[in-house]
Structure 1
Amino acid sequence: MKLTPPTKNVYWIATVLAVLGLLGSFVSIPFVSAYYFWFVVVAFVLLWLGVSMKGF
């Protein structure tokens, strides 16, 4: 399998989701704190797709 760097948009979306998930685990943010684990999981999956699929 050939790996490629993710696009800038995917990278930044994943970064924002991961930061929100981490903040939501420590600070009470109305929607984010209830689903902080899933924010981090979605960020990881986005990065994984960005690396494994060309042009994603």
Structure 2
Amino acid sequence: MLEKYRNQYRCFNDDIQGTATVSAATIKRALLKAGKEPSTSRVFVVGGGSAGCGIAS
């Protein structure tokens, strides 16, 4: 739905986009604190629900 109506309506899905935003920021910060480059690191996402898919994309 987000992709379909992206250019027609202002949409925000907190389960997909909100969780993904917080997760991405947390992962990025943890990698930087560990002295690792985010661009050369791999992240494994467990779960195929909407939140997991949002984090992965």
**TM-score by structure 2 length?**
0.41
Higher helix share: 1
Higher RCO (CA-CA < 8 Å; seq separation 6+): 1
**Which entry has the higher C-alpha Rg, 1 or 2?**
2
**TM-score by structure 1 length?**
0.42
